[in-house]
A and B are shown apart, each in its own frame.
Chain A
């Protein structure tokens, strides 16, 4: 047994070479991401020093600037103020500024959350229903319908953005959470149907048939037997939908302005006066990208399967 496999196994030398090259590539590819996290903990001066500082004194200035609006004041005015009440006020005062209020970041971030979770739930739910029907029933024109569902992903977002913009204006859905949830649901739906159909196909039909012989209706069998069985697939699909909604920019920048604006169109605007507030940009990007990175690492098995899904199925 052992000898018959051994010549297929790469030699330990070639494994070492491969590992070395991969490690070098991994390090290089992670530099921009680590640099972003590091920048978020620099102060404004250290972020624009050259050569770039790898070792620096950590500061929370970026995060303070991210969460507050500030205005520049004269030294005389600052002297006339009562002493700062807390550390972040002190930090801002040392830059000859005062805090004028909270920034919009939290609001934009929670918009991203609401729209992300809302659309993910809707597309996974509707996608699971459709996927089950495609997987189990004889649907007329099944292949055409499935292709139609997939082909909707090929539309450039900008091409349909104007009609959607006009339509939403008429329906009063422009710049609303509901409007964005519906839009992202639809964009994700095609992927959800395709991914979930793959998972449903793997669940043996006998499970729900047994349940139906025991007196369950088709609907009960679906909700009580099939859905729990498909939980892994549902989780994987949900992650994909969530990542898409979380990252989406084109529709968000074109269709939202105030009320329902998500974080991706907002983050570029926090660059601040003189375009030099890189720590704040770093802080915003870090807080925005961190959840996705943690998700990716924790749920890597499902994710990787989902990405290669289309290729492996065939």
Chain B
């Protein structure tokens, strides 16, 4: 009896391809094909609402147009400052909460769950609801702020100075729990013997924090920020419903502008070039970030 014939039925190789095949095919059809299609369209003057007209190849014109447009750089700036403040706040508050929760007091599992609730909610619906909280006449947010310090009437969404902060606040409220959870996982992975050894060496609590806790959490924190960074670079739903990019274009993030060009003005070729540029940006930054992150990890 040959050893190979030990088991009946399909060979492992066949089963392997049978199992992986559908996933790869679906991803190719619904993810890769549209991407390739978008890249192709980015070199044409295609308008998706004009069905009869044949798109013409126009080379790099769309890309040149996007990169030369001053408004695009404004959107990129809006996106960058949105990302900077949300990531900064979420890193500080998230890490702080994780350090506190790691003290393992009674009931901290329940509290963790309650803190996590906002990030499970639909961002678009959350955005709608916050327009009520921010309402300058009747909003709870305005009332609470004025309760502590009387600013008089102010409009978080309507003022171009405050609107960028209105989206930073909601995003931080929603997503700080994410950084917190990842940091918490990091804190729990620090082996106890490190602290025991530090105690034996009479290291102070502060020294333990600087030399043991922080370096072990840092890779986790950076990973959480990578995920949040990618998500916030693509940010669309919450902001569309909260400010719809306004007032003017004070909160018009890159992807909101992309949606306007693609689905309101139907400039398919132009918007595809913009999409490709965004995609390359996110991939480029992501790769550099991961490299830096791995260097920090190795140390």
Q: A residues engaging B (CB < 8 A)?
A: 4, 7-8, 10, 14-16, 18-19, 21-23, 25-26, 29-33, 35-36, 39, 47-52, 126-127, 129-130, 132-134, 136-137, 139, 145, 148-149, 152, 154-167, 182-183, 185-186, 189-190, 193, 212-213, 215, 217-220, 222, 243, 246-250, 253-254, 263-265, 267-268, 278, 281-282, 284-285, 288-289, 292-293, 295-297, 300, 303-304, 307-308, 310-312
Contact A311 B9 (CB under 8 A): no
Most buried by B among A39, A164, A183, A311: A311
Q: Is B230 an interface residue (CB 8 A)?
A: yes
A178 to B59, CA, bound (A): 36
Contact A218 B15 (CB under 8 A): yes
With a cutoff of 8 Å between Cβ atoms, the chain B residues found around residue A31 in the complex are 140
Is chain A's interface secondary structure helix, strand, loop, or mixed overall?
Answer: helix
Contact A162 B30 (CB under 8 A): no
A222 to B10, CA, bound (A): 12
Contact A183 B30 (CB under 8 A): yes
Contact B234 A129 (CB under 8 A): no
6 inter-chain pairs at a CB distance below 8 angstroms, sorted by A residue, are A10-B104, A15-B105, A18-B103, A36-B129, A156-B236, A189-B26
Return A208 CB to nearest CB of chain B, in Å. 10
A312 touches which one: B32, B185, B195 (CB < 8 A)? B185
A197 to B263, CA, bound (A): 38
Contact A296 B116 (CB under 8 A): yes
Is chain B's interface secondary structure helix, strand, loop, or mixed overall?
Answer: helix
B35 touches which one: A10, A50, A155, A268 (CB < 8 A)? A155
- Check A129/B230 contact, CB under 8 A, given A32-B130, A182-B30, A307-B181: no
Most buried by B among A35, A155, A193: A155
What is the size, in residues, of chain B's interface with A at 8 Å between Cβ atoms? Answer: 101
- Check A304/B181 contact, CB under 8 A, given A50-B143, A129-B19: yes
Contact A133 B258 (CB under 8 A): no
Closest to B9 in A: A217
With a cutoff of 8 Å between Cβ atoms, the chain B residues found around residue A282 in the complex are 129, 132
Contact A26 B111 (CB under 8 A): yes
B259 touches which one: A158, A264, A289 (CB < 8 A)? A158
Contact B34 A129 (CB under 8 A): no
Return B246 CB to nearest CB of chain A, in Å. 15
Closest to A160 in B: B34
Contact B196 A149 (CB under 8 A): no
Closest to B177 in A: A29
B9 touches which one: A48, A220, A310 (CB < 8 A)? A220
Contact A32 B133 (CB under 8 A): yes
A52 touches which one: B18, B105, B138, B233 (CB < 8 A)? B138
A4 to B103, CA, bound (A): 18
